[in-house]
Structure 1
């Protein structure tokens, strides 16, 4: 018998809901701000790289992408930690009470685990 049966209330469905709420807690709408780390790459043309030396461009692009990922992970960790500490207050707020941690859609233990993984991952990547 497949213990991870799919369907309403199944383990796979609960796992997908948990992953969805974990992602929401990291505030993906805010991730566009990480695009700012790409600006120096654009402005470094003819200073650090040129079309004649695209190898250097790819090195810088890889570093920039890593920087954006680290920034996303670190900011996500801060959002989750903030929501953990503010969960009681957020439960009383008309719109914030719908956030995954305040509403209980993301259990406190899972939120702490998520914040830990994001924080350690961002520090390891920096």
Structure 2
């Protein structure tokens, strides 16, 4: 009996350790991906600043306008996605409520008598 409990405890412990290692590896991989994208964004900004030095005022204004347009498009898409998620949640909640409700209740005997009279 003790051996069985010991085997179960060791199995659970080893499973937890393996599971923790895989989670840690996934988190580390995600962190490096984020770091790479941040570095890419920095490089893009530096390149844009260098190119901006050689531009005229009108070209600078147009470039700024394009950047702002892109930024606001991203913001709009973000809120559009949030709205779609909310609508999906609300419709799922509504469906769940209808399913939970079930068929309508039959009228009580007292009410039946009142309606007949």
Q: Where on the TM-score scale, by shorter chain, does this alignment land: which range?
A: 0.3 to 0.5
The structure richer in helix per residue is 2
Higher RCO, 1 vs 2 (CA within 8 Å, ≥6 residues apart)? 1
TM-score (norm 2): 0.35
Larger Rg: 2
